[in-house]
C-alpha cells in the first residue's frame, strides 16, 4: 500500500500558478487566436456583407443560407420589362420596356400613320390634336400587347421551336390582347385563330435593333435563340450549395472545435468562480453546434427557413462573444499585477490602433463601397 498523498488545497494548479514559460505560451496562443478571429471577421465582410455594411445583416444571412425570399423568381428579360418604366434607365439594371415605345424605330411613324387613318375615317384631311392623341393611345396599347406577349413566351418556357417557327400561340388569357397587326401570325391575310404571335420577329424588330453588331448594346447580342435563351431562363437563388455547406460544416466542426476546446480548457483552469467557468468554458462549442444546425435548418421552405437563417446572426455572435471572453478573461488570470499592466497597455494600444484603422481605413472603405454600389444602380 502506498502512503496516502499529502492533502493538497488545490490538486490542479490554476493558471497563475503555472511556470512562466507555460503562461507566456498560453498568452501568445490566446492572442494569436484573437487576431485570427478578427481576420475571419474581415473575410466575413468581403464574402457576405452588403456593400456599405461592416458585417452581414440578418437579411444578408438569409440570402446566403436560405436564398431570395418572397420574390417570384423571374428571368432577366421579364425583370427588364416592367409595365411602369418611366424614370428607369434603359440598361441591364433598369428596363427594356421603352424598346416597344419611344425607343422603337417606327414608333412615331406608327402613330402618324394611325392618326392619318383615323382622320380619313372621320372624313378629315389632317388629323387634329384629339385624333393624334387617340392614335397614340391605340399604338401604346398594341405595343403593350407585344410586351405582354414576350413575357408570356418567356414565362411559358421560351420554347425553341416557337422561336424558330416564329409562331407562339397566345395563352387563353391573352387571346384577345390588342397587339400590333404585323406581329400576329397570319394565314391567307388574316390573323390565325386562336391568335399566335411572331415571337422571333418581335425580338428582331424590338430588341435586335440595339442588340446586334453595330447596335447600342452589341456586346449583349439577342439575334438568335441561344443568345435570347440565356436571358429567358429563370435563375433561382437557392442559397449556398449543399456541397459548400457540407464543406464549411466539417471545417467548422473539426478545426474550430479544436480552437474553442483549447481556449475553453485554458479558461477552465482559471480561478474565476466555478459557475462562471461552467457557463463560459463550453459556450463557444455549444453556440457553434447551434449555429451550424441553423445553417442547415435555414434550407427549410418559408417561413421556417428564413427564420432560422436570421437566428444565425445571434448564434454566431454567441460564438464570438464566448471566444472573446475566453481570451480576455484567461489572459488576465494568467498574470498578476505586472502582467495586468502590460495587458492593459497592450489592449489600450490595440484599441487605439483599431480606432485609427476604423476612421482612416475602414470607414472610408465602407463608404466607398457603398457609393460604388449605388452608382451601379
Ligand atoms: C434602344 C436600344 C435598345 C433596345 C431597343 C433594347 N435594348 Fe436591351 N439594352 C440596351 C442597353 C444600352 C443595354 C445595356 C448594355 C450595357 O450594359 O452595356 C441593354 C441591356 C439589356 C440586357 C442586359 C444584358 C446584360 O447581360 O447586362 C438585356 C437582357 C436586354 N437589354 C434585353 C432587351 C430586350 C429583351 C429588348 C427588346 C424588348 C431590348 N433589350 C431592347 C439597349 C437596348
State the 10-residue block means of pLDDT for the chain, 377 residues long: 57 85 93 90 79 79 77 83 91 92 94 95 91 96 97 94 96 92 93 94 96 94 95 74 87 92 96 95 96 91 87 92 95 87 88 87 80 60
Report how far residue 239's alpha carbon sits from residue 179's, in angstroms, rounded to the nearest whole number. 40
Reference 184, options 202, 204, 160, 203; nearest CA is 202
Distance between Cα 311 and ligand 1 center (Å): 40
pLDDT value, residue 377: 43
Contact 177, 148 (CB under 8 A): yes
CA distance 333 to 349: 20
Could you identify the atom of ligand 1 that is nearest to the CA of residue 219?
A: 18
Q: For residues 17 and 1, give the distance between their C-alpha atoms in angstroms, rounded to a whole number.
A: 31
- Separation CA 285–CA 289 (nearest Å): 6
Q: Is 214 left (phi over 0), alpha (psi -120 to 50) or beta?
A: left
Residue 284 makes CB contacts below 8 A (sequence gap 6+) with 260, 263, 264, 318, 319, 322, 323, 326
List pocket residues of ligand 1, CB cut-off 6 Å: 76-77, 80, 90-92, 96, 99, 103, 206-207, 209-211, 216-217, 219-220, 222, 231
Name which residue sits closest to atom 19 of ligand 1, judged by CA: 91
Cα three-residue angle 350-355-356, rounded to 5 degrees: 100
Other CB atoms closer than 10 Å to residue 305's CB: what's the count? 19
**231: CB partners within 8 A, 6+ apart:** 75, 76, 77, 222
Residues 328 and 318: their CA atoms lie apart, in Å, by 15
CA 82 – ligand 1 centroid, Å = 13
The grid coordinates of residue 3 equal: 502512503
Q: What would the grid cell of residue 103 be?
A: 425607343
By CB neighbour count within 10 A (0-12 exposed, 13-18 middle, 19+ buried), where does 360 fall? exposed
Nearest to 142 by CA among 96, 106, 190, 91: 106
Question: Which pLDDT does position 346 carry in this prediction?
Answer: 87
Residue that has been written with the C-alpha cell 383615323 in this structure = 118
Specify the ligand 1 atom closest to the Cα of 231.
29
Question: 134: Cβ–Cβ under 8 A, 6 or more apart, which residues?
Answer: 115, 118
Shortest-distance atom of ligand 1 to CA 209: 5
Specify whether the backbone of 67 is left (phi greater than 0), alpha (psi in -120 to 50) or beta.
left
* Other Cβ atoms within 10 Å of 142 Cβ, number: 18
In angstroms, the CA 28 to CA 320 distance is 19
Distance (Å, rounded) from C-alpha 184 to C-alpha 192? 8
The closest of 267, 291, 290, 292 to 279, measured between CA atoms, is 267
CA distance 330 to 272: 9
b/e code 323-353 from CB counts within 10 Å (16+ = b): bebbbebbbbbbbeeebeeebeeeeeeeeee
CA of 88 to the centre of ligand 1 (A): 13
Cβ distance 15 to 330 under 8 Å? yes
Q: How far is the CA of 96 from the centre of ligand 1 (A)?
A: 6
CB 263 within 8 A of CB 33: yes
Please tell me the residue having the least CA distance from ligand 1 atom 28: 92
pLDDT of residue 14: 87
User: Which of 93, 211, 223, 233 should be mutated for ligand 1, with most atoms under 8 A from CB?
Assistant: 211
Q: What angle do CA 110, 113, 119 make, to 5 degrees?
A: 140
Q: Which residue in 185, 193, 137, 181 sits closest to 162, CA to CA?
A: 185
Amino acid at each position: 500500500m502506498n502512503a496516502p498523498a499529502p492533502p493538497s488545497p488545490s490538486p490542479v494548479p490554476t493558471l497563475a500558478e503555472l511556470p512562466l514559460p507555460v503562461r507566456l505560451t498560453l498568452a501568445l496562443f490566446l492572442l494569436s487566436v484573437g487576431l485570427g478571429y478578427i481576420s475571419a471577421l474581415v473575410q466575413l465582410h468581403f464574402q457576405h456583407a452588403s456593400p456599405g455594411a461592416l458585417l452581414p445583416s440578418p437579411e444578408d444571412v438569409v440570402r446566403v443560407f436560405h436564398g431570395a425570399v418572397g420574390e417570384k423568381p423571374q428571368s432577366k428579360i421579364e425583370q427588364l420589362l416592367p409595365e411602369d418604366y418611366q424614370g428607369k434607365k434603359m440598361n441591364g439594371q433598369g428596363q427594356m420596356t421603352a424598346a416597344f415605345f419611344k425607343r422603337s424605330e417606327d414608333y412615331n411613324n406608327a402613330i402618324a400613320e394611325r392618326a392619318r387613318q383615323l382622320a380619313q375615317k372621320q372624313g378629315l384631311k389632317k388629323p387634329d390634336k384629339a385624333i393624334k392623341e387617340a392614335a397614340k393611345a391605340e399604338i401604346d396599347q398594341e405595343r403593350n400587347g407585344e410586351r405582354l406577349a414576350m413575357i408570356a413566351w418567356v414565362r411559358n418556357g421560351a420554347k425553341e421551336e416557337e422561336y424558330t417557327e416564329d409562331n407562339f400561340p397566345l395563352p387563353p388569357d391573352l387571346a384577345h390582347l390588342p397587339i400590333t397587326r404585323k406581329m400576329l401570325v397570319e394565314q391567307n391575310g388574316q390573323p390565325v385563330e386562336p391568335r399566335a404571335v411572331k415571337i422571333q420577329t418581335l425580338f428582331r424588330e424590338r430588341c435586335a435593333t440595339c442588340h446586334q453588331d453595330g447596335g447600342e448594346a452589341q456586346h449583349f447580342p439577342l439575334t438568335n435563340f441561344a443568345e435570347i435563351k440565356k436571358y429567358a431562363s429563370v435563375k433561382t437563388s437557392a442559397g449556398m450549395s449543399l456541397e459548400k455547406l457540407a464543406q464549411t460544416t466539417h471545417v467548422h466542426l473539426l478545426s474550430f472545435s479544436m480552437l474553442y476546446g483549447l481556449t475553453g480548457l485554458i479558461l477552465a483552469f482559471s480561478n474565476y468562480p466555478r459557475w462562471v467557468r461552467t457557463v463560459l468554458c463550453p459556450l463557444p462549442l455549444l453556440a457553434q453546434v447551434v449555429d451550424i444546425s441553423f445553417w442547415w435548418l435555414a434550407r427549410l421552405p418559408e417561413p421556417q427557413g428564413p427564420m432560422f437563417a436570421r437566428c444565425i446572426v445571434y448564434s454566431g455572435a454567441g460564438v464570438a462573444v464566448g471566444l472573446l471572453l475566453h481570451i480576455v478573461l484567461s489572459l488576465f488570470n494568467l498574470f498578476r499585477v505586472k502582467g495586468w499592466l502590460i495587458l492593459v497597455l497592450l489592449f489600450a494600444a490595440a484599441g487605439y490602433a483599431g480606432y485609427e484603422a476604423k476612421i482612416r481605413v475602414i470607414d472610408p472603405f465602407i463608404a466607398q463601397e457603398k457609393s460604388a454600389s449605388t452608382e451601379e444602380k
